Structure 1
Amino acid sequence: MFKTTILFFITALAEITGCFLPWLWLRKGGSAWLLLPAALSLALFVWLLTLHPAASGRVYAAYGGVYVVTALLWLRFVDGVKLSLYDWLGATVAFCGMMIIVAGWGRA
Structure 2
Amino acid sequence: MLPLKTFLLFFLTALAELIGCFLPLLWLQSRGPVWLLLPAALSLAVFVWLLSLHPVASGRVYAAYGGVYVAAALGWLWLVDGIRPSPWDLAGAALVLVGSGVIMLAGRS
Instruction: Name the residue aligned to 1:92.
Output: 94
Gaps of 5+ in 1: none
What letter corresponds to residue 40 of structure 1 in structure 2? L
Match of 2:49 among 44, 47, 50: 47
Q: How many Å separate the matches in 2 of 1:96 and 1:4?
A: 14
Cα deviation digits, residues 25-74 of structure 1 (max 9, x gap): 01133100000000000000000000011100000000000000000000
Superposed CA RMSD in Å reads 1.0
Work out the percentage of aligned pairs sharing the same amino acid: 63
Tell me which residue corresponds to 2:68: 66
C-alpha displacement at 1:83, in angstroms? 1.1
- Measured in 1, the distance between the counterparts of 2:99 and 2:40 equals 29
The runs of at least 4 aligned residues of structure 1 exceeding 3 Å deviation read none
TM-score (norm 2): 0.95
TM-score normalised by length of structure 1: 0.96
Aligned residues: 107
Tell me which residue corresponds to 2:105. Answer: 103
